[in-house]
Chains A and B, each alone.
Chain A
Amino acid sequence: MISRVQKYIRAGILAGVVPTLVLLVIGLFLRLASPHGPTGHQPLHRLAEGIIRLEPDSFLSLGMLLLYMTPLAGAASALAAFAAEKDSRGALLTLAVLCVILCSILVAKR
């Protein structure tokens, strides 16, 4: 019998994994079918435009970013479950982990 925390984490990760796989597989097929070479690193503001134009690397980039967010979705779900169970130690630890990762995103954007 799995706990509420485990159920929430599973739901959070599943919510990230499914769209990630869809985007990566579409991007992969487009890349294999595309006569053009790679367009390289995709800046965030170009992703929507690239997806409309069916550019493979835009699908792959968006899939990668969703994949990076997936463990965070799992941790955010764990935070909600710890809070619901009034497990303050678990909630604080999870919050601290999420804060460190969010700091790394801010540092990376600089």
Chain B
Amino acid sequence: MGFTLGILGISFLAGLFGAMLGIGGGIFIVPGLTLLLHLPIHAAIGSSITAVIATSSAATLSYIRRDYVNVRLGMLLQLPTVVGAVAGGLLAVRTRGEILQGIFALVLIYSAYSMARPHSEAAEIESGETGGWLASGFLEPTNGDRVEYVPRRKWLGMVISSAAGAMSGLLGVGGGFIQVPMMTRIMSVPARAAMATSAYQIGLTGAASAFIYYSHGYAVPEVAGPAAVGVLLGAKVGTRVFRKLRPRTLMLMFAALLVLAAIRLVLEALR
């Protein structure tokens, strides 16, 4: 019972902080389960991928109702992403835990850097431009204006998406930390649409590698089940309570926490 409550608690906090910081909970679940509950990293990744699919499904239900998800763009980028995810998943189940811990530590440091740096402006958005198969638009809730956009540099987006998929399959994280900046900065997609489209994609990306983890016995029900429920509850609370709250000091604190987790993961891997 204590073990199950421990997983629920860690995943609840992961969902809460993930929603609060807008980065998804996967980045917190793997170090939480590995460092605090001493689970093998493969089992932590299998549980994280399950939790990631749960949060993606819940987020998609909300975003798609508000018309933020660009389904065509999502499907275009999804093809290379799932190919990368399957490759990453197959590679992960054949890779030693220490090596995965090392790679995860690098991703944590990158995430910490992304959180800590001042947000640069996205590439200029050709607002009002219409036409084309990928063109889309939505009502901006802050001012009620209709935002129209046409994604650019599709091929580069597809190449980078395959790398995001590989990272997701290999490490059990959503991949949004690569996809969202790529869509906003390279493809000129508005941030709101990029986040929603990425949230939709993450579910399919996770599903592509989840079956691989499950069949190898790394998505353990007594860990992954509570993790999925905990992260959903945490994300729900986090989204409601902290919808507009993204204080800079909090971001810096979590960035420091991720760096500490990365150092501990490396130290444990070297033991």
Contact = CB atoms under 8 A, between A and B. Distances in A.
B4 A28 contact: yes
A73 B182 CA distance: 27
B78 A97 contact: yes
A2 B65 contact: yes
Interface string A56-100: 111111011101111110110010000000000110011011001
Given A10-B61, A63-B225, A78-B75, A108 B215 contact: yes
B86 interface: yes
B224 A64 contact: yes
Interface of B: 1, 4-5, 8, 50, 53-54, 56-58, 60-61, 64-65, 67, 69, 71-72, 75-76, 78-79, 82-83, 85-86, 89-90, 133, 200, 203-204, 206-212, 214-217, 219-222, 224-226, 228-229, 232
B203 A74 contact: yes
B51 to A, nearest CB: 9
A97 B72 CA distance: 12
Interface residues of A, number: 55
A101 B204 contact: yes
Interface string A35-68: 0001011100000000000001111110111011
Contacts of B225: 24, 27-28, 31, 57, 59-61, 63-64
A57 B82 CA distance: 28
Nearest to B212: A108
Contact of A10 (B65, B83, B203): B65
B204 A108 contact: no
A3 B206 CA distance: 25
A6 B86 contact: no
26 contacts: A6-B64, A6-B69, A9-B69, A10-B64, A17-B57, A20-B57, A21-B232, A31-B222, A31-B225, A32-B4, A38-B221, A40-B217, A41-B217, A56-B222, A60-B221, A64-B224, A65-B214, A68-B53, A69-B207, A71-B204, A78-B71, A97-B75, A100-B86, A101-B208, A108-B214, A109-B215
Question: Counting chain A CB atoms within 10 Å of each CB, which of B75, B90, B206, B229 scores highest?
Answer: B75
A104 B89 contact: yes
Given A60-B224, A63-B228, 7 more contacts: A2-B64, A24-B228, A31-B1, A41-B221, A70-B203, A97-B82, A104-B208
